[in-house]
Amino acid sequence: MDGGYKPIFQRKRAAGRLPSAYPQRREVAVGSVVLGADNPVAIQSMTTTDTSDVEATLAEIRLLEEAGCELIRVSVPDEKSAHALPAIKKQMRVPLIADIHFQPKLALAAIAAGVDKVRLNPGNIVTRDRLEPVARELAKHKMPVRIGVNAGSIAADLKPLYRDDPVAAIVKSAHRYIEMLESLGVHQIVVALKSSDVPVTVEAYRKFAWESDYPLHMGITEAGPGIIGASRSAAGLGLLLAEGLGDTLRVSLASGVEDEVVVAKEILSSLGIREFPRLIACPTCARQEFDVIATAGRLQRTLLSLKVPLTVAIMGCVVNGPGEAAEADVGLIASGGSFTIYRDGAIAQRANSLAEAEAAFRRQIALAAEAYANKSKMAVRDG
């Protein structure tokens, strides 16, 4: 009775990807980040500031970079924003993507500013004559472009089809734009087929992935605030990632800008696709001996900005505490009114107050991170 069972998670196709039955994606380089083929699924996000305010935009970019964002998009709604692009680009560590709607001249300005990729919306720069000047410059500068199909801005002539079959309309919109771009000499293309409806999004990506080998920028658009958007994104993206699809992810949250990166990392690391720091905390109950939720909240930012993939556990009592804490790289548990800090499965320190325990926990995390980084350096040297 087990003939149909095929494990998804036992093997990776390559570091940062799960196996896939779909045709392999072609490679497209976005600055220093290569998408497609066996390259790891990259994390991207978008700023929320007025792009013409260079300092405010750079402040958000720094937060995103610090959180581990690998590609950053800014909106370019007007000429002022386009003029700000060179100054922004100069001060960034990761590739910059310009998000363009309605106005081909803003795409031309972004290309001239030297961004690493342009996103175009086939729902609002629709016709060949409007696309042609942009395509010519993209081809001349060998600059990649993302076709960002979005159910909320589907082209007027595809709306009747969209009402009958939204998946067909979204996929058709992408193919139609690809054909126009290819005929104008553009082949460095990334495709997104987004809807706020999870099944529609999932089926659009699955259908398109059988029909084309361009790399996929994945997301559930306008997923909502905080935990609502995170859950919706995890449901949709999890399904697609489990099939080995997705070359870059953007989690669209109505939430703090770094939250998108935290959720994207969590989706990827929960599926074992990429390795990032993991925070385990018990949900708490009447047995908890200290405020686990508040403690996890205080430590979350420090933990998630670690550059090494440590697993850290915060547990409220002895029921599951010792087991989880010993499994983690660093663990904190309370039992019988005192605290124990574990490192690499062994007791590293004890403390009598929460303040003392938290300080010791942070110290052990720093030591574990240093040890991990040294071990990686030695492995690179010896390997």
Shortest Å, Cβ 336 to ligand SF4:
13
- Which own/partner contact pairs does 366-369 have at CB distance under 8 Å and 24+ positions apart? 367/343, 368/310, 368/329, 368/330, 368/343, 368/344, 369/306, 369/307, 369/308, 369/310
Distance separating alpha carbons of residues 20 and 8, to the nearest angstrom? 9
Distance separating alpha carbons of residues 81 and 340, to the nearest angstrom? 53
Read off the tokens for 106.
């803003």
Contacts of 133 (CB under 8 A, 6+ apart): 104, 108
Q: Does 282 bind ligand SF4 (CB under 6 A)?
A: yes
Q: Does 337 bind ligand SF4 (CB under 6 A)?
A: no
Read off the tokens for 366.
């720093």
Residue 205 vs 290, nearer CB to ligand SF4: 290
Binding-site string for ligand SF4 from residue 303 to residue 322, where x marks contact by CB under 6 A and - marks none: ------------xxx-xxx-
Residue 271 vs 319, nearer CB to ligand SF4: 319
Q: Does 284 bind ligand SF4 (CB under 6 A)?
A: yes
Distance separating alpha carbons of residues 132 and 53, to the nearest angstrom? 30
Strand partners, 17: 14
Q: Does 84 bind ligand SF4 (CB under 6 A)?
A: no
Q: Does 331 bind ligand SF4 (CB under 6 A)?
A: no
Q: Helices marked H in 272-320 — which ranges?
A: 292-304
Residue 283 vs 337, nearer CB to ligand SF4: 283
Residue 169 vs 332, nearer CB to ligand SF4: 332
Shortest Å, Cβ 170 to ligand SF4:
43
Shortest Å, Cβ 7 to ligand SF4:
29
Shortest Å, Cβ 206 to ligand SF4:
38
Near ligand SF4 by CB under 6 A, which window of 113-121, 262-270, 278-286, 354-362?
A: 278-286
Residue 223 vs 357, nearer CB to ligand SF4: 357
Applying CB under 6 A, among 287, 307, 350, 377 the residue interacting with ligand SF4 is 287
Near ligand SF4 by CB under 6 A, which window of 153-161, 218-226, 250-258, 285-293?
A: 285-293
Contacts of 56 (CB under 8 A, 6+ apart): 49, 50
Neighbours of 116 (CB within 10 A): 20
48 exposed, middle or buried (CB, 10 Å; 0-12, 13-18, 19+)? middle
Report yes or no: 25 and 246 within 8 Å, Cβ to Cβ: no
Tell me the number of residues near ligand SF4 by CB under 6 A. 12
Which residue reads 């870059």 in tokens?
A: 248
Q: Does 95 bind ligand SF4 (CB under 6 A)?
A: no
Contact set with ligand SF4 (CB under 6 A): 282-285, 287-288, 315-317, 319-321
